[in-house]
Chain A
Amino acid sequence: MGDRGGGCCPPMDLFRSEAMQLVQLIIPMESAHLTVSYLGDLGLIQFKDLNSDKSPFQRTYAAQIKRCGEMARKLRFFKEQMLKAGFSPSAKSLGETNIGFDDLEVKLGELEAELVEMNANGDKLQRGYNELLEYKLVLQKAGEFFTSAQRSATAQQREMESQQMGDRTLETPLLREQETATDLSKQVKLGFISGLVPREKSMAFERILFRATRGNVFLKQVPAEEPITDPVSGEKMEKNVFVVFYSGERAKNKILKICEAFGANRYPFAEDLGKQALMITEVSGRISELKTTIDAGLLQRDNLLRTIGDQFEEWNLKVKKEKSIYHTLNMLSLDVTKKCLVAEGWSPVFATKQIQEALQRAAFDSNSQVGAIFQVLHTRESPPTYFRTNKFTSAFQEIVDAYGVAKYQEANPGVYTIVTFPFLFAVMFGDWGHGICLLLATLYFIVREKKLSSQKLGDITEMTFGGRYVIMMMSLFSIYTGLVYNEFFSVPFELFGRSAYACRDLSCRDATTVGLIKVRDTYPFGVDPAWHGSRSELPFLNSLKMKMSILLGVAQMNLGIILSYFNAIFFRNSLNMIFLNSLFGYLSFLIIVKWCTGSQADLYHILIYMFLSPTDELGENQLFPGQKITQGFSSNLIFLCISFQQVLLLLALVSVPWMLLPKPFLLKRQHENRHQGQSYAPLESTDETLLSVANHDSHGHDHEEFEFSEVFVHQLIHTIEFVLGAVSNTASYLRLWALSLAHSELSVVFYEKVLLLAWGYNNIIILIVGIIVFIFATVGVLLIMETLSAFLHALRLHWVEFQNKFYEGDGYKFYPFSFALLDDEDD
């Protein structure tokens, strides 16, 4: 199949996909890595997996892939650390410093170990620091409620004593206090535990403490104002400082266990005020000490991370490349002698030379004694589809691919989509004001293309950005159709000279067109502005747009059928376009004739009666001589009484069985011929076929059993679909009219009911509000929603009405092994 494309027609890059070939490379083991790497740089070959029956770790280079995975993990670790430290890997690349794969692995390992150690040290210090911070907090808070408790206690005591002892207290206050204090310590041995507990657990903590000790504890909690870093987990959380008072050893054990269970950190606390002060100063001192140590550590770590960051991108790319190289190498099959690898893959025919060059270069650079062998294989497998696109055409090609990837070397609707898609869109979106808005928006994207394409965009923006050239074309075409419809935000302008019509007298402001008379030549381009706002505007535009949509539809479907004819020639099949044209082609013809001659004939009438009573007279509806009357000059008597219309009708009727019957029979004959041919195959090619058969046993054969009934039923379905489709598809093109009508009416509504209404009040505030509402309505409804809906309808017209005429779309895409594509796979 490969050699057929170039011969018949001039090279058309987009019309037919590139001619592909299945190539076999036999690469010596020692230069395999370099070869694949060069091929990856080239990016024009799609390797086939020759080891698909083997699981990943049974393949030749599983160990290397594992190493790559490990390195990638280290790099991810670095990245995470860098993000945590707050700086991103620098995008600048320092050029290719050729660091070997093994060296890189060692280096990454060392760096990771260093970083991990630093982190561990840092964590340890940080933990100590956090603990000290917590301790300090406990000291402060607990100290507070000890002093407050003491103050209230002494106050109470004083009160009591003053009540009891009256004026005697003044004499021996000091002694008394001492006595009571010693008494207290003798009477009850209240122990206490202080610490911090996470706030969300504090309720449960209190409850459990209460239950476990049967209420024989006193718990005091104070919330810490700001979140504290937990020493263990290193996370910031809200905590409460608590002090539990208990009595007895058993209670103490229980409380300790509960504290442990709740992750409450306990800290020793001295009752003595002096000791407390001492501890606070000590802790503060240690905190500042630790702080400097931690800062120094952090600085060191930041430096390390910065050096990593400088080379991160380079390493990352390197590792990704290596990994993809080994993945590719794993797809190659090992030769029996284990001295060379055998690769198979698809490549475009034009790339043959480049591939061979790359192979030679690799063999030379790796000092291999034997070069790689390149040979083309013959196969019956259908090759992948590959279109060379650029940034302009790729978006259009994607519109087609979204429906289905073209079969290998099938006529590609993408070429026509570049023009027809924006055009059909514009027919529905005809307004040059809106068109200019769209154009400005998309020009912004195009001007800043370089900058935007390198950064990550949001979902919707990304999509708009991807389709920027589509939108540009769409807006250009809408400006054009807008000029044809003569609408600028629904306002007509007299751009191409004055209107052809003028009033009969001076006082006819909203006169209908009947009240006008033609005073000048016909308006040179587009719709005459005088139509706008007149009473007969709608019927006139409807009739115009309706007929226009049918014309466009029939034209596009004819294009589709012509393409299917091209496909038929290309793939040596057979087919037909009589049916569509005998009915709807005729209608289009009538429309054009009517426009040209200015006749007032009723087209519905003609077409309907063409079916109902083909022999009746047409009367006033006759558009051109011979339409109904016999073609007198024909010499043949039989045709004398058959009118043009009847000929067409007959053709349409005949074309149905014509579509249905011959193809299955033709196919059958072809099949039989082929079988005969096979038994007497010429001898010269046997060697090659044997070879290729031996090589491609697994590639499958398309010599299926030919079943006549199946083909017949298939063709029957196809015929019915085509006949019904011709009617419904033509009707479907009327959506062009409907959407265009909806668009223009909506913009009229916004213009008249918002802008003009606000204008009429002569109030500046109302005017401003009106303008704002108008802008939002225009942007939101007309520019965004209408664009979307028109886009979708244009898409449908392409996918359903146009492409079903010829497009199979059952191919598969060409995914070359290329380093350039690696970045896109990044998660």
Chain B
Amino acid sequence: MYGFEAMTFNIHGGYLEAIVRGHRAGLLTATDYNNLCQCETLDDIKMHLSATEYGPYLQNEPSPLHTTTIVEKCTLKLVDEYKHMLCQATEPLSTFLEYITYGHMIDNVVLIVTGTLHERDVQELLEKCHPLGMFDSIATLAVAQNMRELYRLVLVDTPLAPYFSECITSEDLDDMNIEIMRNTLYKAYLEDFYKFCQKLGGATAEIMSDLLAFEADRRAVNITINSIGTELTRDDRRKLYSNFGLLYPYGHEELAVCEDIDQVRGAMEKYPPYQSIFSKLSYGESQMLDKAFYEEEVKRLCLAFEQQFHYGVFFAYMRLREQEIRNLMWISECVAQNQKSRVHDSVVFIF
């Protein structure tokens, strides 16, 4: 397979690869971020964004803006682009593109279920869902009382159904359960996606396995850190780690027994790629870990564009755009709440 995708890739994928590379050129640059960080009001942000690709999406918004409007409109742009690409895609690219959205689907399911558990209004919850992860009967999730019902009523029709095999229990839903469900689903999803990419072979497999392995490892670290001090047993924790990635299997063994953040650090520093991430943090600190991981991810995603004839660019583009929207959200929030000093805390420059 290696090296030969260049011969046939462009028959089906060439157009879309060109499209996605064109979209990538529209990502905000460091100068854009610098300008955005200097904005005084949300209107300033709107004005600056109107000179970028977000312009048409924001220009018809009446003036007292809210952060949510900005984020909503920017997400809308991403969704429009995604839909356009999905319309044009043929197999196996269309399946690949659909895989990208499953993560959002899991998040949406968890969001709705948690929301109904806390007796929020369904409509309000629906508005908070990521539009990429919507499916037809998502609102019906509110009806379900336990995992089994959840599966039997709604999820059996969705692409998430196969991932559910491990978490069908009759237990009533509670916060802990839901969180475990999210991670189990995610694990199954990542493994499935990984397998799918391996099946595609060629440069796609090579690049995607790297990106997905990073994702899996990051989730493993996050699960570990978040489960420290909870009643989650070591074996249960171990079960939530995805069965691939750089940390698999020996790193997982070590992570499973970690009791505090410094032990996690000790376990991770044995792996050179992660050593550089942890070396940026001071001991006992986990706040900045997210940002460090995001930065590393963005770096890897950008590298995916260096190679041609593979599907990794689509994944990378979607992820970069999402990161950009996160950045915009953070900047707008900081501007709206007059916390401009903290603006650089969470912004990850893409270029």
Report the bound CA distance from A204 to B136 in whole Å: 8
Q: A73-B62, A208-B137 are in contact. Are A260 and B122 (CB under 8 A)?
A: yes
B153 adjacent to A261 (CB under 8 Å): no
Q: Could you say which of A55-63, A312-320, A528-536, A653-661 contacts chain B?
A: A55-63
Complex Cα distance A55/B63, Å?
20
CB–CB A211/B142 < 8 A? no
Is A212 interfacial (CB 8 A cutoff)? yes
Chain B nearest CB, measured from A82 CB (Å): 15
Q: A73-B60, A260-B122 are in contact. Are A58 and B153 (CB under 8 A)?
A: no
A57 adjacent to B137 (CB under 8 Å)? no
Q: Is there a chain B Cβ closer than 8 Å to A258's Cβ? A: yes
Q: Which chain A residues lie closer than 8 Å to B157 at the CB level?
A: 204, 207
The residue in chain B whose Cβ has the minimal distance to the Cβ of A255 is B143
On whether the beta carbons of B39 and A57 are closer than 8 Å, the reply is yes
Q: Looking at the complex, which one of A55, A257, A258 makes contact with B38 (CB distance below 8 Å)?
A: A55
Q: Does B100 contact A (CB under 8 A)?
A: no
The answer, yes or no, to whether A70 is at the interface (CB within 8 Å) is yes
Taken together as a complex, chains A and B put the C-alpha atoms of A212 and B139 apart, in Å, by: 14
CB pair B47–A57 under 8 Å, yes or no, is: yes
Question: Are A58 and B38 neighbours in the complex by a CB distance under 8 Å?
Answer: yes
A76 vs B62: C-alpha distance in the bound complex, in angstroms?
Answer: 11
User: How far, in whole Å, are A140 and B155 apart by their CA atoms in the complex?
Assistant: 36
Residues of A with C-beta under 8 A to B154: 208
Asked if A69 is an interface residue, CB under 8 A from chain B, the answer is: yes
Is A77 located at the chain interface by the 8 A CB criterion?
A: yes
Q: Restricting to B23-42, which residues have a CB under 8 Å from any CB of A?
A: 35, 38-40
Number of A-B contacts (CB under 8 A): 64
By a CB distance below 8 angstroms, the chain B residues around A260 are 122, 139, 142
| Contact of B12 with A by CB under 8 A | no
Chain A hits for B139, CB < 8 A: 260-262
Are the C-beta atoms of B39 and A56 separated by less than 8 Å?
no
Q: Does B174 make an interface contact (CB < 8 A)?
A: no
Return chain B residues, CB-CB under 8 Å to A76: 59-60
Q: How far is the CB of A725 from chain B (nearest CB, A)?
A: 35
Per-residue 0/1 for A9-31: is the Cβ within 8 Å of any B Cβ (1 yes, 0 no)? 00000000000000000000000
Given contacts A56-B51, A208-B153, whether A73 and B59 have CB atoms under 8 Å apart is: yes
Interface residues of A in 551-582 (CB under 8 A from B): none
Instruction: Indicate if B44 sits at the interface (CB-CB under 8 A).
Output: yes
Residue of A nearest to B35 (CB): A55
With contacts A204-B136, A208-B137, A262-B139 taken as known, whether A69 is within 8 angstroms of B60 at the C-beta atoms is no
Q: Tell me if A518 counts as interface (CB < 8 A to partner B).
A: no
* CB closest chain-A residue, reference B43: A66
Whether B51 contacts A261 by the Cβ 8 Å rule is: no
How far does the alpha carbon of A77 sit from the alpha carbon of B43 in the complex, in Å? 19
A57 near B63 with CB under 8 A, answer no
B48 touches A57 (CB 8 A): yes
C-alpha gap A204/B135 in the complex (Å): 12
Interface string of A253-293 (1 = CB under 8 A from B): 01001101110000000000000000000000000000000
Q: What is the bound-complex CA distance between A201 and B47, given in angstroms? A: 41
Q: Kindly state whether residue B68 has any CB partner on chain A within 8 Å.
A: no
**B321 CB to nearest A CB, Å:** 23
* Residue of A whose beta carbon sits closest to that of B126: A261
B50 in contact (CB, < 8 A): yes
A69 — which chain B residues lie within 8 A by C-beta?
47, 50, 59
Nearest A residue to B38 via CB reads A55
Known interface pairs A70-B63, A73-B60; A254-B143 also in contact (CB < 8 Å): yes
Whether B60 contacts A56 by the Cβ 8 Å rule is no
Say whether B122 contacts A261, CB under 8 Å: yes
B165 close to chain A: CB less than 8 A:
no
A residues 655-685 in Cβ contact with B at 8 Å? none
| A257-B143 CB under 8 A given contacts A76-B60, A211-B152 | yes
In the complex, A260→B35 CA distance in Å? 45
Chain A residues, CB < 8 A from B47: 56-57, 62, 65-66, 69
A contact residues, total (Cβ < 8 Å): 24
Which parts of A31-63 form the interface with B (CB within 8 Å)? 55-58, 62
Residues 149-186 of chain A, each 1 if its beta carbon lies under 8 Å from chain B, else 0: 00000000000000000000000000000000000000
Provide the residues of chain A in CB contact with B10, threshold 8 Å.
Answer: none
Contacts of A58 in B (CB 8 A): 38
| Candidates A55, A211, A212, A258; contact of B48 at CB < 8 Å | A55
> How distant is the Cα of A72 from the Cα of B231 in the complex, in angstroms?
58
Q: Does B233 count as interface, using CB distance less than 8 angstroms?
A: no
Alpha-carbon distance between A493 and B245 when the two chains are bound, in angstroms? 85
Question: Given the complex of chains A and B, what is the CA–CA distance between A66 and B143 in angstroms?
Answer: 47
- CA–CA, A208 to B142, complex, Å? 12
Interface string of B320-339 (1 = CB under 8 A from A): 00000000000000000000
Partner of A257 from B48, B62, B142 at Cβ < 8 Å: B142
Query: In the complex, what residues of A have CB within 8 A of residue B50's CB?
Result: 69
- With beta carbons under 8 angstroms apart, the residue of B44, B59, B140 that contacts A258 is B140
- Set of chain B residues within 8 Å of A55, measured between Cβ atoms: 35, 38, 48
B44 near A57 (CB under 8 angstroms)?
Answer: yes
Q: Mark A192-231, 1 if CB is under 8 A from B, else 0.
A: 0000000001001001100110000000000000000000
Task: State which residues 497-531 of A face B: CB under 8 Å.
Answer: none
A420 and B122 alpha carbons, distance in the complex (Å)? 73
Interface string of A67-79 (1 = CB under 8 A from B): 0011001001100
Which residues 189-226 in B have Cβ within 8 Å of A in the complex?
none
Kindly identify which residue among B35, B142, B152 contacts A261, using a CB–CB cutoff of 8 Å: B142
Chain A residues within an 8 Å CB radius of B51: 56
A343 to B154, CA, bound (A): 66
**Chain A positions within 8 Å of B122 at CB level:** 257, 260-261
The interface residues of chain A lying within 8 Å CB-to-CB of B137 are: 204, 208, 261-262
- Shortest C-beta distance, A35 to chain B (Å), equals 25
- A204–B153 Cα gap in the complex (Å)? 11
Q: Can you list, as one digit per residue, whether each of A239-258 has a CB less than 8 Å from chain B (1) or not (0)?
A: 00000000000000010011
Q: Which residue of chain B has its CB nearest to the CB of A67?
A: B63
Are A261 and B39 within 8 A (Cβ)? Answer: no
Question: How far does the Cβ of A319 sit from chain B's closest Cβ, in whole Å?
Answer: 14
Residues of B within 8 A of A211 (CB): 152-153
Residues of A427-442 contacting chain B, CB below 8 A: none
Q: Do B140 and A261 have beta carbons less than 8 Å apart?
A: yes
A152 CB to closest chain B CB (Å) equals 33
Chain B residue at minimum C-beta to C-beta distance from A72: B59
Chain B residue with Cβ nearest A76: B60
In the assembled complex, the Cα of A261 lies from the Cα of B63 at a distance in Å of 33
Smallest CB separation, A106 vs chain B (Å): 15
In the complex, how many angstroms separate the beta carbon of B107 from the nearest chain A beta carbon? 19
Cβ contacts under 8 Å, A77 to chain B = 60
Which residues of A sit under 8 angstroms from B152, Cβ to Cβ? 211
Instruction: List residues of chain A with CB within 8 A of the CB of B60.
Output: 73, 76-77
In Å, the complex CA distance between A208 and B270 comes to 50
Specify the chain B residue showing the minimal Cβ separation from A827: B56
Are B140 and A262 within 8 A (Cβ)?
A: yes
Q: Which residue of B lies closest to A261 (CB)?
A: B139
Question: For window 406-465 of chain A, which residues contact chain B by CB distance below 8 Å?
Answer: none
CB B308 to nearest CB in A, in angstroms, measures 31
Additional 5 contacts, C-beta under 8 A, given A57-B44, A77-B60? A65-B47, A201-B136, A204-B157, A208-B140, A258-B140
Q: List 29 A-B contacts (CB under 8 A).
A: A55-B35, A55-B38, A55-B48, A57-B38, A57-B39, A57-B44, A66-B43, A66-B47, A69-B50, A73-B60, A76-B59, A76-B60, A77-B60, A201-B136, A204-B136, A208-B137, A208-B153, A211-B153, A212-B140, A212-B143, A257-B122, A257-B140, A258-B140, A258-B143, A260-B139, A260-B142, A261-B139, A261-B143, A262-B139
CB within 8 Å of B: which residues of A?
55-58, 62, 65-66, 69-70, 73, 76-77, 201, 204, 207-208, 211-212, 254, 257-258, 260-262
Q: Give B contacts to A, CB under 8 Å.
A: 35, 38-40, 43-44, 47-48, 50-51, 59-63, 122, 136-137, 139-143, 152-154, 157
Q: Which 10 A-B pairs have the closest CB atoms?
A: A261-B139, A55-B35, A261-B140, A57-B44, A257-B143, A211-B153, A208-B140, A70-B63, A57-B47, A204-B137
